[in-house]
Amino acid sequence: MPSPKAAASTRVLQIISTANPDFGGPQEAAAQIGRSLQPLGIESDLATLDGPATTWGGADVLRLGPGRFGGYHYSDRLYPWLRSNASRYGSVIIHGLWQYHGLAAWRALRAGPVPYFVFPHGMLDPWFKHRYPLKHLKKQFYWQGAEYRILRDARAVLFTTDEERLLARQTFSPYRVNEAVVGFGISEPPRGERALFFRRYPELQDKRIVLFLGRLHPKKGCDQLISAFAAVCSRHPTLRLVMAGPDQAGYQATLMRQAELRGIADRISWTGMITGELKWGAYQSAEVFVLPSHQENFGISVAEALACRVPTLISDKVNIWREIDAEQCGIVGPDTPAGTLELLEKWLALNDIERERMRANSLACFRKHFHIDSTTARLAATLQAIPCSTPRTSSAA
């Protein structure tokens, strides 16, 4: 029978403000990490500041909320729970910044034997300080008061790409952390879901589908995509744009008005958020995937498209753009209206042989860079091997 210490070393606690899947990448990352560690013999628990009545994440989620004070998600239950239960775990992963769960974990763990790690999930990208300067000023005060200490005292700050790691150095000062690039990946998707998708959306049968799948948000470049699609679709009568994703702030109405003014409302399908088999059916029915984001830490949807042999058209602000470009499984361009238009025009100018070559390259790229097996092995090794040390010094711009 294993000793309590040995048992704790094979358990990881993940902490996130909410398990609500509508919030995208961090929530999906926490779920994927939990599932992928199991085959390595590492159990994972997920603690959130959701209220007890929520069902997100399933029955096994530890709900220590409800979080209060708006988006900060304060709960007076988390800190004492961590003080009492942290010894059950070999390590703790904090997902995301700027919310109470990070401060509570720092207070509970900084002087104890259980190491904690922080996944920023792109929240240190300098794009935010240029796009929202007043909000950045507020965050700078909070950084100096609390957030910097949380990252400074972490065993490591975990990045999904080297691009994310380098960008993070440019946003706040002071910045002195232990850095580790662990990557991120997904499992092989199920096959044969196209029929389900076309049963739900029969109007898309036999059409050439350009797929956007993600939150409907200005950061994603949705308005640029609609303008670019309007400029090319008249020359390609079977081309259809599918906009799939949750609308958290009423942005879809703005985009739909834009489509009406451009005369292409009947060429766009709005599916809302789709998950599970229907989501995979959307990927497998698409000719090409497009994500012209102004800022994208990793782009789980890009990896999902590649896993389904779907080439990707992305901006150079999606942090895995270098892999896409190097493996020739998509087209990369600037996150501008002209750049987004060029992405579509270049794709539509390819011949069938060139497109098929990109499809084959897409699956190869996924298996080489973004398959869950290799990225989980790196994460597990990092959680178990990084020693306490003096953090590296990096100067922020």
Give the pLDDT mean for 319-331: 96
Between CA 285 and CA 310 the distance in angstroms is 9
Between the two ends of the chain, the Cα-to-Cα distance in Å is 52
Which residue's entry shows tokens 């009568």? 237
- DSSP for residue 40: G
Between CA 10 and CA 39 the distance in angstroms is 12
Burial-class residue 66 by CB neighbours within 10 Å (0-12, 13-18, 19+).
middle
Identity at 182, one-letter amino acid code: V
Between CA 119 and CA 122 the distance in angstroms is 8
pTM: 0.81
Phi and psi dihedrals of 187, rounded to 5?
-80, 165
- Report the SS3 class of residue 192: coil
CA atoms within 13 A on the CB side of 20: 15
Examine the pLDDT at 5 and tell me if it is beyond 70: no
- Residues 205-227: tens digit of each pLDDT: 999 999 999 999 999 999 999 99
Give the pLDDT mean for 125-154: 93
Structure tokens at 294: 């102004």
Give the pLDDT mean for 229-237: 97
Structure tokens at 268: 């766009």
What is the structure's pLDDT at 375?
85
CATH 3.10.580.10 fits 4-186+374-385, yes or no: no
- Residues 59-75: tens digit of each pLDDT: 789 999 998 888 899 99
- Residues 166-190: tens digit of each pLDDT: 999 999 999 999 999 998 888 889 8
CA atoms within 13 A on the CB side of 234: 7
Between CA 192 and CA 212 the distance in angstroms is 20
Omega within 30 of 0 (cis) for the link into 66: yes
Comparing C-alpha atoms, which of 141, 177, 163 is closest to residue 396? 177
- Which sequence spans correspond to the domains of the chain? 4-186+374-385, 194-370
Examine the pLDDT at 150 and tell me if it is beyond 50: yes
Q: What is the mean pLDDT of the chain?
A: 91
What is the structure's pLDDT at 223?
97
Examine the pLDDT at 391 and tell me if it is beyond 80: no
Identity at 178, one-letter amino acid code: N
Give the pLDDT mean for 243-251: 92
- CATH superfamily of domain region 194-370: Glycogen Phosphorylase B; (3.40.50.2000)
Structure tokens at 335: 């996150």
What is the structure's pLDDT at 351?
97
Between CA 94 and CA 14 the distance in angstroms is 6
Contact 233, 241 (CB under 8 A): yes
Distances (CA, A) of 259 to 32, 229, 286, 345: 35, 10, 20, 19
Examine the pLDDT at 79 and tell me if it is beyond 90: yes
Give yes or no on whether 4-186+374-385 and 194-370 have one common fold.
yes
What is the structure's pLDDT at 9?
65
- DSSP for residue 141: H
**Beta-sheet strands, E only, within the chain:** 11-16, 43-48, 62-63, 91-95, 116-119, 156-159, 179-181, 208-213, 239-244, 268-272, 288-291, 312-315, 330-333
Examine the pLDDT at 81 and tell me if it is beyond 80: yes
